[in-house]
Structures are given as structure tokens and as C-alpha cells.
Structure 1
Amino acid sequence: MYQQPLSRRTVLRAAGAALALPFLDAMLPRLQSAPSTFKPWAKSSVAAVPRMICCYVPNGVNILEWVPKDSGEKYTLSPTLEALKDFRSDVTVVSGLGHPAAQGGHSGADTWLTAANLKAKPGADYTNGVSVDQLAAQLHGKQTRFPSLQLSDMSGTGGAGHSNTLSFDANGTPLPAENSPRRLFDRLFVPDTVGDRAAALKRHAERRSILDDVAAESAALNGKLGATDRRKLDEYLSSVRSTEKQVERMQSWVDRPKPNVKDTGLQLGSKPMDGHDRPMWLDVMLELSYLAFVTDVTRVVTFEWSREASGYGGSGENHHELSHHGGDAGMLSKLAAIDRFHLSKLGRFLGLMKATPEGDGTVLDRTVVVYGSGMNSGAGGEHSPKNLPLLVAGGRKLGLKLGSHLAHNPTKSPPLSSVLLSVAQKMGVETDKFADSAGTLTGLV
């Protein structure tokens, strides 16, 4: 769909003279993304269960227009958060928190859900920890086809410090992300053929055989190693055992049918790295997350909307470039527009879940949504791990308190991991500590 560009001839006529006029932005044809026609289901197809999705935006936000001026339940929505006014009672705004151990810069996605110091291990360039979503996946993944889903605008894991994923296993190893709506839909909902099932069983058997050989050879090697190398080998074997369990559970799901889901209204051809497709791609990836929840194929999703130092606004604007605003008023205004664009997509996703009855409430009532960034671009464009933009939505029937602004002093506040611990506990994880948390966050639980 095209928006009619402003004619050069029209501009010259309006000027009343034939001048050598430069090209203006208004003269360029502007592609308009096609609005989604996807509709929420009349009701969820499964029993009410706890779920969580963590949505990450890169490059920080215009923090000056993001943080409300007052706090508490009667706070005034900031100019940016006005985009979520229809969901005010479903969202708690948390400001002033940060990751004390993080280094800042463009490694925000790597540490957002781990709170790790990536340089904590002497002699190592990069060391991460487990992400909070994987604690929930360890608990809930036993009941679902997929323990968790990792989504991003770039597939795979990316590079250390510029990860394409928010999820890290117990050893701090990144879990690869999917960026194709079509591949994700096929993986979740397209039935496997007889040939597909046979190939899967063969693949699992071959993998299991390789793992058995690795375990046997490692055991034989163990007695010949020193203490340091034995510790390294133990970490490796732990990873092997985890992989064995994954193979076993995948085998158990091979002959169990996938949910019957049609692709009606899903724009599965949307491209993540296309500025024009950007709004459509965000919509469809969130719609697929919604479908994964209402069919219970997974209860845990992480979604990196863009990798750090990347991203687009609603009309294809360069998000990363605008985050280096240096305090420029024009760039800050455009950055705030991108923030509102992102929140409009979040609001639509919340609306899908809120409109879907489930048990004694709605899907949103038992789905925790964590939204934010691991970077604060600040008043001058600096990339700081302090005063990170953060929203928590949904999960009311899990015990989360919603509808307020929990404001903290960025220099003295609890670490953001207190929010992560709060979410983990509401997902049913039995732990009283996560990363550098000092306990759960008062006002949220």
C-alpha cells in the first residue's frame, strides 16, 4: 500500500516560482504496512496455566518521555506511556532499576534476563549465567512440546556481547532464536508426515548414540585429568546430560499430534530485517506467541524485537542511529515516536490475551509479560545499565500487583533481578534468590 507522495511540481507551483528545490522527505513514496487481520480466539483451548513472555527492545528509549513524573497507583502516564492508556490497570511501570554487574554498551540483551557480569571470570572474554526464563522452562517444559521458544529478528545465537537471543541455559550457553514467522508456524502447528516422524526418530537415535559415545570417552578420560580440567569436564558432561534429556523428551512427542491451528490472518511472509515489513513482522511474531500460549505448546517465550545496535521504527527509521542522540531535541522526538510505536504493538498483544477467556479469567490474567531494555540511552545518548525502562503486565491471578508506578532512585534502588525473582516465583519456581537479587520487589508481589 502506498501513500501518495508530494509532487515536486505541486511544491514549485505553491512557491510561485521555478526554483531549484532540493528533494524533501515528503516527496518520497512511503510504503504503509498492511494492518493485521488476525483475530483472538473465542476462548483458550487449554486449562489455565502460568505463562511468561519477555519482550526486549534494543538501544534504550527516550527516558525523558518514558518515566512518569509521579509514582503510586494514581500516577500520571508519561507522554510515551500514553500509548498504553487502555491497559493502565494491567501494567505496572518500574523505574530506577538496573543491573549493577552489567558493563553497559551494546551487551544489554545478553544480561537483561541473567544480570550477569560478562567479564567476571578471570581470563575469559565472556561468561554468562542462566536466564530467568530457563528456570521457568525447567519447571513447565515437562508438560509442553517445547520447553521454551526463543524469537528474534535475527536467527541463531549471534555473537558474544551482541546476542540474537535473550535465553541462556544453566551453563550460560545461548539458546538459538527463530526469526521466520513461516518456519515458526510450521514448527508449532503443521502436522508431521509419516516420513517426517521416521526421519525425526532416526535423527534422535543417531544423536543419542553420539552422546553415549561422548559420555563413555569422557568417563575414561576423567581419571587422567587434574582438578581444574576435571571441573571443566564435569561442566561439559552436565551439558551432555541436559542434551540427553532433551532428546528423550523430543522422542516422546514425535507421535503426539500438534494442535490444529489455521494460518488465517497471519502474515507469515513478513521479513524481520525489512523496514517496510517491520510492523507486520512484530504483529505476526506476537500473534504466534499468543497461539503458542492458547494451545499450550509452550509456556515460556523470549522475544528480542531487535538485536542491539539494530532495529527499525514504524516507518523504517534507524533506531540505533537515533539512540546516539547526544541530547538533540529532534532525534529525541523521533526516538520517542519509535518507543510509542513499540508500545502500540505491545498493547495490541495485551489486547489479544485480555480478549480471550480462560478458566475464571482471561489468558492475560495468567501470563506475565516483562517488557523493556537492557540499556538506557539517557539524556545524552550514553549506553548505561542503570535506570532501565521496564514494564510488567498481566499475571494478576498469579499474584502480581498491577496498575502503579514503582519509582526507585537509580543510585540506590534494588537491582532489576528483584523483578526477575518475583516473576520466577509467580511462575512456580521455588527459589528465594536469583543472580544479585536481594529479594522480591516490594509493590509488585
Structure 2
Amino acid sequence: MNASHMISRRTVLRGLGTAMALPWLEAMGPLTSWATAAEGGAVAPNRMAFIYVPNGINMADWTPKEEGTNYEMPTILKHLEKHRSEMLVLTGLTADKARANGDGGGDHARALSAFLTGCQPKKTDGNEIRAGVSVDQVAASRIGDQTRLPSLELGCEAGAMAGNCDSGYSCVYSSTMAWKSATQPLPKEVDPKLVFERMFSSSGDENRAKRDAARKSVLDFVRDDASQLTQSLGSYDRRKLDEYFTSVREIEQRIDRAKNMPTIDVPEGVAKPSGIPKDYAEHLRLMADLLVLAFQTDMTRVSTFVMANEGSNKSYPFIGVSEGHHELSHHGNEQAKKDKIRQINEFHVQQLAYLIDRLKSVPEAGGTLLDHCMIAYGSGNSDGNAHNHDDLPVLLFGKGGGTIQTGRHIKYAKETPLNNLWLSMLERMDVRLPSLGDSTGHLPGLTA
């Protein structure tokens, strides 16, 4: 942008004593310089959560040989044996938009960003990012007004929101699963303390009503100033500013909705987290506890949970794996490396089993909280060594309010879009769409 059209990074919109800081815009200069600057119903609602693990799976130790109900649990899935009756193993699903499709390298970035969108992410390491609306945000846009939080984005590995992380793809693609719009990724929160405060900070606050009453729409006060600023911005900045204003408006509307909702107190015996645990397993389980708490209190009905970023090279010395995960995923068919990948896969599945245990332990509407959930678990990569995106490792837990028959291994035809599953899950949230991303229809066989 021409220097004569640059605006200060300290620019604010002002009106009637109100000052609103702006998000970073192209017109403020390079991002690097910016960064260095200073009950009552009889039917319980359905919930949906999407849990992601990176770098693919050692598929030989994941995929059951038999279909139907009497399949033998493969090595990695043995930790889920006690949850067999509450789960579906789904094989044959494909994330086609995680493939290159003419864009060259970058399978890790595409794997995560296409996992819930079914859209080809634009190859860029700049600010012209583009993917698609993710299934969780489609649900949040339709049912989010029924809960305090439209959705909850969780993770256990921080990630950059800019820069080149994978063969010319922005780091945002490798670290973000939820996309509110094609150009608006929703960053995950990795600090359990901050998640807890977001969920319960207003509970029991005597000043809350006074504070909310003073929060008349900030946008109303600054509209004229914003209109003048918009005229001097480029198309990209105008879009980002509009997204920013929309987000602020949604927060204000959520405050208004909260006035008519009963206060949600912290359940007895639940302690506020002190921060990010040093132990990775404890971190994962603490986030799982918060997800369960959010569903249990009906704080939200939609969540995403990224256990580790796509392409993560995290090591797992606590289970005897000192090498980095991504490094090992390029195993070159060496059995010793494949064995260590299996160990990492088993560790993640053990944390998943903990989450399912917790959901099953909460009684609800004559059953359990899990009965009224759909918990999808998987990866946008199949074999990390081959970087293939077909025959993905996908599990689905919960009965979706009685709409899903669990306890089976279902094998689908090759190239069946993963988004067919997401479309079917949306329908069970009373969100009906003709299509989503690259879907070709609803996924058959989820009910008997």
C-alpha cells in the first residue's frame, strides 16, 4: 500500500466518549512491525465436538479387518474396548480438498484447514488466507443463540496466526480448525484458566448488570467515524474491518441474550485451573474436563479440540518417544519408527478414552451426557508418510439423541467425502443444508 495511505496502528474510532481499538489492517503496515509494537424440557439437546490429532495414524494398527459389530479391536483402538457400544469406526472417508489439487506441497496445512470445511485452502503465507466455513461454525451460526457461548475452540498446542509454516501455506492453516467464514479463522484457546474464565467469569458478579447496562452498542457511537475511515481503505481492509465489527456486535448481542438466561454457577467441587499444566497429558485431560463442563452446563453445544497442531513435531518422552512426531511420521516404512508412531497414536486414544469416560459419567435425561452428543475424532492425514487423505482414521462417539446406532465398524466406498458425515451430524443438530463444502449427500448407515 502507498505510504500516503498508511494509517497509524494506534488508530481508534471515537464517539460520545467511546474509543474502540481496531484490529490489524494492511493499511497499518507489515504485521511484523505491528507484532513488535507495544431443564424443563423432556428432550436433552444434542451437542457436537470435533477432536483432531495430527500427522496421520499407523493405519495397520488402526483399521479393523471385519465390518459390523463383531470386529476385533486393532492395537491402537484396544484402549477404547470398554466404549465399543458407544462408538462407530468409519473407514473409507476422504478429505479431497486436503490434497494438492495442483497446489504442490503443503499437505499438513491443508489437512487441518480442510478437515471441517471441505474446501481447498488458498495457498498463501500472507494475509490473503481463504478456506471455507467449518461445520462447527455452521452449527454455531444456527443454534449459537440458544447458549451463552455459540462455540468453544480448544487446543493444547499454541500456534502462530501468520508466517510460513508449510510449503508456502500460512501458519494459520496448520493451527486452526474452526473457520467462522472463508477468511475468518477462529483461534483456539490453549490456556485452561482463560477457558474457565470465559465460561464462568460473570457468574455471581454483583457489578455485572451495571456493567452491561453501560455497554450500549459501541458501534452505534462510532458509526460515522467508521464510515469515513472505510472510504480510505482497500477492499481487503474493508472486509477485515467488517468482520471485526460483526464480531463485536455478536459479543454485544450475546451480553443481551445472557440477561434473559439463568446464571450458570460453577458446579460444586470444580476448581478454577491455575494455567497451562507442564504435563501434556494433564493439559489434555484438563481441556477435556472443560469441554464436558461446557456441555454439562449447556454453556455451548458446539466445540472443537485440537490435541496438537498439524505437522507438530512434539516429542513424547513420557511414553519413551524422544523423537519428534512429524519426524517419525515420515517413517520410510521403518518398523521401529512405525512402532513409535503407534505409541503416540495410543497415547492420544487414551486421552480420548478419558473424555468419553467423563461424558458417560454425567447422567442426563434418563441416560448420559454422551447419549446426547456426537464426538468425532480423527485426522485429515491417513498415513503420515504417504501424505494421503483418503481412507481417513475417523471415529464417532455418542448416540446423537438416539439417532445413531453405535457399536459398529462401517466401511464406505472409496472417495466418500468426509463432509457427508458432517452434513449428517448437522441434520441431527436440526441444521439442514443441501450441501457443505465438497459433500455429495448425507452419509448412509449411521442408523440401523
- Same structural fold, with TM-score higher than 0.5 when normalized by the shorter chain: yes
Residue of structure 1 in register with 2:226 after alignment: 214
Q: Is 1:133 aligned to residue 129 of structure 2?
A: no
Question: In structure 1, what is the Cα distance between the partners aligned to 2:141 and 2:213?
Answer: 23
Residue of structure 1 in register with 2:280 after alignment: 278
Residues 251-299 of structure 1: CA deviation (Å, up to 9, x unaligned):
4426966422258466824636x4xx11101111000110111111111
Mapping of 1:186-205 within 5 angstroms?
186-190=197-201, 191=203, 193-194=205-206, 205=217
Give the match's secondary structure for 1:97. strand
Residue of structure 1 in register with 2:187 after alignment: 176
Residue of structure 2 in register with 1:88 after alignment: 84
Instruction: Flag the 1:70–1:182 CA change in 2: closer, same or farther, 3 A.
Output: same
Contact 2:51/2:304 (<8 A) preserved? yes
Per-residue deviation, 1:355: 2.1
Instruction: Flag the 1:213–1:176 CA change in 2: closer, same or farther, 3 A.
Output: farther
Contact 1:211/1:244 (<8 A) preserved? no
Question: In structure 2, what is the Cα distance between the partners aligned to 1:249 and 1:205?
Answer: 12
Letter aligned with residue 411 of structure 2: A
Q: Is 1:116 aligned to residue 129 of structure 2?
A: no
Mapping of 1:40-55 within 5 angstroms?
48-55=44-51
Mapping of 1:188-337 within 5 angstroms?
188-190=199-201, 191=203, 193-194=205-206, 205-206=217-218, 209-210=221-222, 213-214=225-226, 218=230, 221=231, 237=242, 240-241=245-246, 243-253=248-258, 258-261=263-266, 264=269, 268-269=273-274, 271=276, 274=278, 277-310=279-312, 311-313=314-316, 315=318, 317=321, 318-337=324-343
Unaligned 5+ segments in structure 2 are 1-38, 101-105, 163-169
Instruction: Flag the 1:247–1:213 CA change in 2: closer, same or farther, 3 A.
Output: farther
Contact 2:400/2:428 (<8 A) preserved? no
Letter aligned with residue 214 of structure 1: A
Instruction: Flag the 1:216–1:62 CA change in 2: closer, same or farther, 3 A.
Output: same
Residue of structure 2 in register with 1:424 after alignment: 426
Segment drifting more, 103-112 vs 50-59 = 103-112
Question: In structure 1, what is the Cα distance between the partners aligned to 2:301 and 2:317?
Answer: 29
Letter aligned with residue 423 of structure 2: L
Residue of structure 2 in register with 1:147 after alignment: 150
Question: In structure 1, what is the Cα distance between the partners aligned to 2:438 and 2:301?
Answer: 25
Residues 404-442 of structure 1: CA deviation (Å, up to 9, x unaligned):
112235xx3311111111111111102131111111111
Aligned match for 1:407, one of 407, 411, 418: 411
Question: In structure 2, what is the Cα distance between the partners aligned to 1:135 and 1:157?
Answer: 24
Question: In structure 1, what is the Cα distance between the partners aligned to 2:328 and 2:273?
Answer: 29
Instruction: Flag the 1:216–1:202 CA change in 2: closer, same or farther, 3 A.
Output: farther
Residues 341-364 of structure 1: CA deviation (Å, up to 9, x unaligned):
111111121111112211132111
Question: In structure 1, what is the Cα distance between the partners aligned to 2:206 and 2:158?
Answer: 28
Per-residue deviation, 1:336: 0.9
Letter aligned with residue 332 of structure 2: G
Segment drifting more, 387-396 vs 184-193 = 184-193
Per-residue deviation, 1:300: 0.6
Per-residue deviation, 1:386: 2.0
Question: In structure 1, what is the Cα distance between the partners aligned to 2:41 and 2:355?
Answer: 18
Segment drifting more, 317-326 vs 355-364 = 317-326
Contact 1:154/1:177 (<8 A) preserved? no
Residues 80-125 of structure 1: CA deviation (Å, up to 9, x unaligned):
111110011111111121111223621122111001111389x996
Per-residue deviation, 1:46: 10
Aligned match for 1:56, one of 47, 52, 55: 52
Aligned residues: 388
Per-residue deviation, 1:133: 0.3
Alignment root-mean-square deviation, CA: 3.3
Residues 148-194 of structure 1: CA deviation (Å, up to 9, x unaligned):
01111245773435443311013341012111111111221243645
Look at both structures and tell me which one has the larger radius of gyration over its CA atoms: 1
Give the match's secondary structure for 1:116. coil
Aligned match for 2:358, one of 352, 358, 364: 352
Residue of structure 1 in register with 2:16 after alignment: none
Give the match's secondary structure for 1:158. coil
Contact 2:46/2:400 (<8 A) preserved? no
Aligned match for 2:96, one of 80, 85, 100: 100
